[in-house]
């Protein structure tokens, strides 16, 4: 990792200093996670309309001068995900309490009837799943962006992964479609897999810069455990 | 998964295969994963070639409803797609069943189903009519007082009853009737939606009817946990709350109709509780709490209170048998109200005629009985004629005023203006009484100003240097102030006016402020550009006033971001796809707020906002106008920018063929391209013809005259004209004079 590469923590610092690019990048990276958590929490219920406002509240809480991020010290930096989870959960709870105070008459809140601990556990899993999915997708987008500005080979790699897993075509069918030898498509696939791996490691390092190379690779494979596969 | 393992190369590859598979296989389903804010719409699943997804409307337990474009028929539709996680046969067949039931119900107040099919990833979907508008729940919640628009809400309720009665006639029950499942369209049309719980009476219950486990992100999971009860607890009939599905029939819907009527009359649904479980518990024993008291104190007509209470009876046998019965009662009530109103008008008219006769008789000092008889006969004949004309005119004007009210509420401003104009004319020419004239005047005072502001906003194709004066003068006229109106005066004017009117005043304030930003120079950095907006006290006061008048959350975020100079927030707003569902003013406002931001931050966001606005409002003058202007004035403009500018300039001319200014903009864009490497043969000639056409529309237009003289090579004459004051008293700024010379001079 070069010292110029941004990490979640450099964005945190930038965001706290009020740098617009840091805030925007921070939102890019974590908005989907925060939003997915809130959707999981509120589903189709009456608070769903307030999801975007709650997302904003979460970021405001993170960015404001004496906000939650300012209370994160170096010692707690390996637990960024836990920290963000706590912030969004508190924001959601505050909104639910306000809603309960204001009006009890409409459709019920998501989770009514569920044991609070079970609900917390379910939502925690939903948050981790969203977080893992977000990293996996950021890596896909990174690979796509690199391919757009890269070589023919890079673009073919992305297309191959799309055909293989999005369209669910076997390698043999892809080779036929491309009029190529299946063995060479297999080799291209191996290189594409390596390409995605590199992108994912970059994204993983962004979130967990403290990990070693080996730990990063393990953590990447471990994402599947979080997404439930 | 064990993170510490040390797998062999082969097993490591397999693990990575799984990771890659998940990442790419999950990609089209990002919306379901909560990542839709970052998904270009075209990547979402849709039937190949036919439908283009343009945005998400709502997300339910079983499916997601998208706003889609039917490319074959060129119309917008709502498309409901089954969640990817539901692939069990029973869920799929229930989803298809919903479409089948919906397609068999053909009624003006039931959303028609167009087509059933499968997406490219084999998920079932169906398309239906896209209803633009708001739910009855929102409409009711927006009332300042419970009695506001009561007759309108009761007419809506009658339409709901008619639609449900039609379904009952066909043996279908809805099972989740509530204000949130009724859409009121832009033209006042009523649509009962969400037939996902609907059931054909008499069909054998199967597993398909049971609750669907909808996973983490769905509120329907609550329902499945609540003893199999389907529906919304606050509106549930006792048999529904008990989960006794075989017992559900038309009278279950009748209970829900009673719930809707109760909310119209009291502002509260019939069943309450501090939690869903408590509400279901109350519903299951028919415990209505204070609903009866609330209804009795609602000051509503006793007939309506009685109807609501009958619908809400605990035992089915005590309720009206079906929605047809409820609809009949409502129709009878509304007819009686109309007749009572008419009778009251007639009585008042008779009373007035009698009073007139009495006054005249006194004035004439009639003595002789014979003369009195003759005179009374004569006056009587006249009185009847006058009374009849008055009655007709009064009824016409009332209808026009009611129409204007409806149009204002639906934001149909042109139609509202027409109705008001006609009501005013009728009030002036027909023999109506003073009360009716006062009514017309009061309505004019209420709406006329805002209609004038809207008209200004729509036709304001002025150059920015003319905008400020045009707005100041119009606001002065509307408010009646003697000098430049202050934001406080404008806020005061908006108080007490309907929410739609206040929102329109706010949009005009936004527009005034935002167009004035066009006069500000671009800054070196995004922060400086945004800070400039916030620091411009004059304009920020207008935005602050708009903020007070208009509570719309999205526009409030935009205004806050502008006032705070928050670049990140502005760019976030620009990146949010919800812009798709907003009126054109929002796209214009956001694009103008982004204007002072320099490249590279500002431009892609501005272009994205405007193109998104154009996709949804292709006939909007200002969206097209800004696409031209922003593309042309961009410092690092490309040939594509200039092509885009010309394309949208041509659209501008077609939108306002009788306005001279679009001709100028058209010529301006053409000549900018003509001067660059991407010049097209014919650019110069097309520009010349456009200027000529503009001058034939308004020979006094100074800017067009300067452009014409410059193109003819008569530079000195053009300079003389450009130094003249405009007829309105303003003068052309030096910067613009230089620009005109640079662009319109021959090469």
Continuous H helices in B701-733: 702-711, 715-723
Distance from CA of A134 to the nearest CA of B (A): 8
At residue B127's C-alpha, the angle toward residues B121 and B132, to 5°, is 130
Do residues B92 and B76 make contact, with C-beta atoms less than 8 angstroms apart?
Answer: no
Q: What is the C-alpha separation between B456 and A48, in angstroms, rounded?
A: 37
Q: Determine the 3-state secondary structure of B63 from DSSP.
A: strand
Q: What is the pLDDT of residue B3?
A: 34
Question: Chain A residue with minimal CA distance to B62?
Answer: A44
Nearest to A165 among B12, B25, B226 (CB): B25
DSSP string, B155-180: HHHHHHHHHHHHHHHTTEE-S---GG
A192 interaction partners in chain B (CB closer than 8 Å): 20
Check the CA dihedral B269-B157-B211-B117 and report its sign: negative
A220–B568 C-beta distance less than 8 A: no
How far does Cα B217 stand from its chain's mean position? 28
Q: Determine the pLDDT at residue A67.
A: 63
Long-range residue pairs from A165-174, CB within 8 A, at least 24 positions apart, any chain = A165/B20, A165/B21, A165/B23, A165/B24, A165/B25, A166/B24, A166/B25, A166/B27, A166/B28, A168/B25
In angstroms, the CA B422 to CA A129 distance is 61
Q: How far is B733 from chain A (nearest CA, A)?
A: 34
- Give contacts of B 584-623 with A, CB under 8 A: 601
Burial of B205 (0-12, 13-18, 19+ CB in 10 A): exposed
Which of B24, B234, B530 has its CB closest to that of A107?
Answer: B234
Report the DSSP beta bridge partners of residue B173. B199
DSSP B710: H
Where do the H-state alpha helices sit in chain A? 8-16, 20-42, 51-63, 80-102, 116-148, 152-161, 171-178, 182-207, 213-227
Q: State the nearest Cα–Cα gap between B39 and chain A, in angstroms.
A: 10
Nearest CA to CA, how far is A112 from chain B (Å)? 6
CB pairs under 8 A between A and B: 185
Q: What are the percentages of helix, strand and coil residues in chain B, rounded to 5?
A: 65, 5, 30
Q: Is A111 on the interface with B (CB under 8 A)?
A: yes
Residue B630 has phi, psi (to 5 degrees) of: -65, -35
Which residues of chain A does B13 touch, with a Cβ-Cβ cutoff of 8 Å? 190, 193
Residues 57-76 of B with CB under 8 A from A: 58-61
Distance from CA of B699 to the nearest CA of A (A): 49
Chain A contact for B30, CB < 8 A? yes
β-strands B199-200, B172-173 pairing: antiparallel
Of residues A129 and B354, more confidence is placed in A129
Q: Tell me the torsion sign for CA atoms A181, A183, A185, A187.
A: negative
Task: Give the C-alpha distances (Å, rounded to integers) separating B168 from B155, B165, B325, B599.
Answer: 20, 5, 11, 61
pLDDT of residue B43: 34
Instruction: In whole angstroms, give the CA distance from residue B229 to residue B236.
Output: 9
Q: With contacts defined as CB-CB under 8 Å, which chain A residues touch B233?
A: 107-108
A166 contacts in chain B (CB < 8 Å): 24-25, 27-28
Cross-chain residue pair A105–B234, CB shorter than 8 Å: yes
Rounded Cα distance between B598 and B604, Å, is 10
| Residue A187, both tokens | 């080799």
Residues of A in contact with B553 (CB under 8 A): 53
Q: What's the CA gap between B158 and B168, in Å, rounded?
A: 15
Interface check B15 vs A, CB under 8 A: yes
Query: Nearest residue of B to residue A57 by CA position?
Result: B557
Answer whether A200's CB lies under 8 Å from A220's CB. Answer: yes
Residue of B23, B269, B526 lying closest to A136 (CB–CB): B23
> For chain B (length 747 residues), average pLDDT per consecutive 10?
46 81 64 31 44 68 77 80 73 81 83 81 82 83 83 91 91 89 82 84 58 34 42 84 83 95 92 73 80 84 86 90 89 76 65 67 51 45 53 76 74 69 71 71 71 71 65 81 74 78 83 68 55 60 83 83 79 71 76 73 80 73 83 81 86 75 89 87 90 88 88 88 64 75 85
Beta-carbon neighbour count of residue A116 at 10 Å? 8
Which residues does chain A have within 8 Å of residue B24's beta carbon, measured at their own beta carbons?
140, 161-162, 164-166
Substitution target from A53, A57, A123, A137 for chain B, most B beta carbons within 10 A: A137
Residue B636 phi, psi dihedral angles, 5° rounding: -100, 50
Q: Are B95 and B124 in contact (CB under 8 A)?
A: yes
Largest CA distance in chain A: 67
Give A6-55 pLDDT, tens digit per residue: 788 787 777 777 677 777 778 778 888 888 888 888 876 777 777 877 88
Residue B219 with chain A: CB contacts under 8 Å: 42-45, 48, 107-108, 110
Tokens 């730990």, located at residue: A215
Strand partners, B53: B68
Contacts of B596 in chain A (CB under 8 A): none
The continuous run of DSSP H or E covering B628 comes out as helix B621-633
Please classify residue B121 by burial: count the beta carbons closer than 10 Å to its beta carbon, then call 0-12 exposed, 13-18 middle and 19+ buried: middle
pLDDT at B60: 64
Cβ distance of B20 and A53 shorter than 8 Å: no
Q: Which two tokens stand for residue B411?
A: 């934001």
For testing contact with chain B, the best of A36, A50, A112 (most B CBs within 10 A) = A112
* B704 touches B636 (CB < 8 A): no
State whether B219 and A45 contact (CB < 8 Å). yes
Is a pLDDT exceeding 80 seen at residue A141?
yes
Q: Please tell me whether residue B591 adopts helix, strand or coil conformation.
A: helix
Q: Distance (Å, rounded) from C-alpha B619 to C-alpha B630?
A: 18
Q: Which residues contact B691 (CB under 8 A, 6 or more apart)?
A: B663, B664, B667, B704, B707, B708, B711
The verdict on a CB contact (< 8 Å) between B16 and A193 is: yes
The helix (run of H) or strand (run of E) holding residue B253 is helix B250-266
Closest Cβ–Cβ partner in B4, B268, B578 for A105: B268
């Amino acid at each position: 990792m070069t010292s110029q590469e941004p990490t979640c923590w450099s964005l945190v610092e930038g965001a706290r200093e009020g740098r617009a690019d840091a805030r925007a990048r921070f939102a890019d990276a974590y908005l989907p996670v925060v939003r997915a958590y809130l959707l999981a929490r509120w589903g189709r219920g009456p608070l769903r309309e307030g999801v975007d406002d709650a997302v904003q509240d979460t970021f405001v809480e993170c960015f404001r001068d004496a906000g939650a991020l300012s209370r994160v010290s170096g010692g707690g930096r390996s637990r960024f995900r836990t920290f963000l989870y706590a912030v969004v959960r508190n924001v959601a709870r505050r909104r639910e309490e306000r809603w309960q105070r204001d009006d009890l008459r409409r459709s019920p809140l998501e989770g009514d009837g569920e044991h609070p601990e079970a609900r917390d556990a379910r939502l925690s899993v939903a948050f981790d799943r969203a977080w893992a999915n977000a990293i996996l997708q950021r890596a896909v987008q990174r690979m796509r962006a690199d391919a757009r500005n890269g070589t023919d080979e890079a673009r073919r790699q992305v297309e191959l992964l799309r055909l293989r897993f999005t369209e669910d075509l076997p390698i043999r069918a892809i080779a036929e479609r491309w009029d190529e030898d299946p063995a060479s498509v297999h080799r291209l696939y191996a290189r594409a897999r390596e390409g995605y791996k590199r992108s994912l490691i970059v994204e993983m390092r962004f979130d967990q810069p403290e990990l070693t190379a080996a730990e990063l690779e393990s953590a990447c494979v471990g994402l599947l455990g979080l997404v439930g596969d | 998964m064990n993170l510490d393992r040390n797998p062999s190369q082969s097993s490591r590859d397999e693990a990575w295969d799984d990771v890659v598979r998940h990442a790419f296989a999950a990609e089209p389903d990002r919306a379901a994963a909560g990542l839709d804010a970052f998904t270009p719409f075209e990547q979402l699943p849709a039937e190949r070639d036919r439908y283009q997804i343009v945005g998400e409307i709502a997300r339910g337990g079983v499916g997601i409803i998208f706003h889609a474009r039917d490319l074959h028929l060129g119309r917008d539709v709502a498309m409901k797609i089954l969640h990817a996680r539901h692939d069990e046969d029973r869920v799929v067949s229930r989803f298809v069943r919903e479409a089948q039931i919906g397609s068999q119900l053909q009624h003006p107040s039931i959303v028609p189903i167009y087509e059933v099919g499968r997406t490219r990833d084999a998920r079932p979907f169906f398309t239906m009519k896209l209803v633009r508008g708001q739910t009855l729940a929102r409409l009711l919640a927006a009332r300042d007082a419970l009695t506001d628009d009561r007759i309108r809400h009761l007419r809506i309720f009658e339409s709901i009853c008619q639609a449900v009665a039609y379904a009952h006639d066909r043996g279908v029950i809805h099972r989740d009737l509530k204000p949130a499942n009724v859409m009121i369209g832009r033209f006042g049309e009523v649509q009962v939606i969400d037939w996902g719980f609907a059931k054909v009476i008499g069909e054998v219950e199967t597993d398909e009817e049971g609750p669907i486990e909808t996973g983490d992100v769905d509120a329907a999971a609550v329902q499945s946990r609540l003893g199999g009860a389907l529906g919304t607890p606050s509106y549930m009939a006792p048999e529904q709350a008990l989960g006794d599905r075989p017992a559900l029939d038309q009278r279950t819907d009748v209970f829900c109709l009673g719930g809707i009527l109760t909310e119209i009359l009291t502002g509260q649904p019939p069943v309450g509780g501090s939690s869903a479980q408590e509400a279901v518990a109350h519903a299951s024993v028919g415990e209505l709490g204070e609903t009866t008291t609330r209804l009795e104190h609602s000051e509503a007509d006793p007939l309506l209170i009685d109807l609501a209470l009958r619908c809400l009876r605990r035992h089915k046998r005590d309720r009206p048998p079906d929605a047809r019965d409820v609809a009949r009662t409502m129709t009878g009530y509304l007819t009686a109200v109309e007749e009572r109103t008419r009778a009251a008008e007639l009585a008042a008219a008779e009373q007035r005629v009698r009073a007139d006769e009495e006054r005249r008789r006194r004035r004439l000092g009639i003595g002789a009985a014979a003369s009195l008889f003759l005179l009374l006969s004569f006056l009587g004949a006249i009185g009847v004629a006058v009374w009849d004309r008055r009655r007709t005119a009064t009824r016409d004007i009332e209808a026009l005023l009611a129409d204007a009210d409806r149009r204002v509420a639906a934001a149909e401003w042109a139609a509202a203006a027409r109705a008001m104009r006609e009501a005013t004319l009728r009030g002036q020419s027909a023999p109506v009484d003073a009360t009716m004239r006062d009514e017309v005047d009061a309505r004019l005072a209420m709406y006329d100003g805002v209609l004038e502001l809207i008209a200004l906003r729509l036709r304001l194709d002025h150059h920015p240097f003319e905008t400020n004066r045009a707005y100041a003068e119009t606001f002065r006229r509307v408010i009646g102030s003697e000098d430049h109106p202050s934001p406080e005066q404008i806020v005061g004017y908006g108080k007490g006016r309907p929410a739609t009117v206040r929102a329109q005043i706010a949009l005009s304030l936004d527009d005034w402020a935002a167009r004035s930003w066009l006069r500000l120079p671009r800054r070196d950095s995004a922060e400086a550009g945004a800070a400039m907006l916030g620091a411009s006290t004059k304009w920020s006061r207008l935005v602050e006033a708009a903020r007070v008048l208009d509570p719309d959350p999205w526009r409030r975020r935009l205004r806050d971001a502008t006032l705070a100079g928050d670049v990140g927030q502005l760019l976030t707003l620009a990146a949010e796809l919800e812009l798709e569902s907003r009126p054109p003013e929002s796209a214009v406002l956001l694009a103008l707020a982004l204007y002072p931001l320099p490249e590279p931050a500002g431009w892609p966001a501005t272009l994205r906002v405007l193109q998104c606005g154009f996709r949804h409002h292709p006939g909007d003058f200002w969206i097209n106008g800004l696409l031209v202007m922003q593309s042309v004035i961009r410092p690092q403009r490309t040939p594509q920018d200039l092509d885009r500018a010309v394309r949208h300039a041509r659209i501008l001319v077609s939108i306002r063929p009788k306005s001279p200014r679009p001709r100028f903009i058209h010529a301006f864009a053409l000549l900018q391209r003509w001067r660059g490497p991407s010049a097209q043969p014919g650019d110069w000639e097309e520009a010349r013809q456009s200027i000529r056409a503009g001058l034939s529309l308004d020979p006094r237009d100074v800017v067009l005259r300067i452009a014409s003289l410059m193109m003819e090579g008569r530079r000195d004459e053009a300079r003389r004209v450009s130094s003249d004051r405009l007829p309105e008293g303003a003068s052309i700024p030096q910067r613009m004079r230089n620009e005109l010379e640079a662009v319109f001079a021959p090469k």
